[in-house]
Structure 1
Amino acid sequence: MASFTELETWKQARKIRVYISGVVKSFPADEKFRLTDQVIRSSRSIGNNLAEGHGRFHYQDNLRFCIMARGSLTETLDHLIIALDEKIITEEELSHFQAEYDSCLRLINGYIQYLKSKKQENSK
């Protein structure tokens, strides 16, 4: 694959980042340097880690960054659960995100399995 932008995992991470950018616009001002900043950073980190891993030379390095992307994805979900608990977002907004989260998680896990199989093939 020539570019990380061709990865389905990265494309899904981008959708999540764009969704989060829209959702946080309705967050209260007193959350600007707390929850808003945290959820923006974690959502950006998903795609950032996928891109950085793709740019690495070895499969093991790429795997490590994919695992970090998966952690950032889960962190983003936790931030939105907090937003729901604080009545900043609605159940509908969380449900929409949950569907995108599930899709991204499946893609990342599939990509991790692919990289593991490529790593094994190359070690033979």
Structure 2
Amino acid sequence: MNASFRKWAAYRKGMILSNRIDDLTASFPPNERFRLTDQICRSASSVCANLAESFAKRRYPKHFIAKITDSYGENCETQMWLDKALARGYITNKQYKEHNDLADEVGRLLHFMEHNPDHYAKKSNTK
């Protein structure tokens, strides 16, 4: 089965962000491996993981919206970790802006999904 969530703009942009975060954190100090590095990589990946779960729950609007909300929360958490990485001097202002702008775009797409669940709902074959 070709899961349609891969066609969603929020998923595609979220995956780009997640992969870029993975690359970005490769230069973080080793002492951050089990703190900031793991946290930011986990939250960025969770955006897409929650979108995939929402696809399976799209028949039930409240469950769908809950997973979209979880995804939005993980995206916000990713932005907080970017704030921390900037404050600690692990990333440049340019890197921060590039990644934060992409996270903002993902957030806008998730907001649309949350407020338009019928657009993503599984169509019922029953009459």
Aligned-pair identity (%) = 27
Deviation at 1:114, TM superposition (A): 1.1
How far residue 88 of structure 1 moved from its aligned partner, in angstroms, is: 0.7
Distance in 2 (alpha carbons) for counterparts of 1:5 and 1:53 = 12
Q: Distance in 2 between matches of 1:55 and 1:118?
A: 11
CA distance in 1, matches of 2:17, 2:120: 27
Matching residue of 1:49:
50
The structural deviation recorded for 1:8 is 0.9
Q: Counterparts in 2 of 1:100-115, with a 5 A limit?
A: 100-115=102-117
| CA RMSD of superposed structures (Å) | 1.9
| Structure 2: gaps spanning 5 or more residues | 122-127
State whether residues 63 and 116 of structure 1, in contact with CA within 8 Å, keep that contact through their aligned partners in structure 2.
no
Distance 2:68 2:52 in 1: 9
TM-score (norm: length of structure 2): 0.88
Q: Deviations over 1:11-57 (max 9, x none)?
A: 11101101101100000000001100000110010000011011113
CA distance in 1, matches of 2:115, 2:34: 37
Counterpart of 1:29 in structure 2 is 30
2:100 corresponds in structure 1 to 98
Q: 1:1-124 to 2 correspondence within 5 Å?
A: 3-56=4-57, 57-115=59-117
Contact map agreement 1:59 1:118 (CA 8 A) in 2: no
Within 1, Cα distance between the matches of 2:119 and 2:46? 25
1:46 partner amino acid: V
Instruction: Check the 8 A contact 1:77/1:98 in 2, yes or no.
Output: yes
Structure 1 residues 117, 6: closer, same or farther in 2, change over 3 A?
Answer: closer
Displacement of 1:2 in angstroms is 5.0
Alpha-carbon distance in 2 for matches of 1:21, 1:34 = 14
Gaps of at least 5 residues in structure 1 are 120-124
SS where residue 26 of structure 2 aligns? Answer: helix
SS in 1 for 2:116: helix
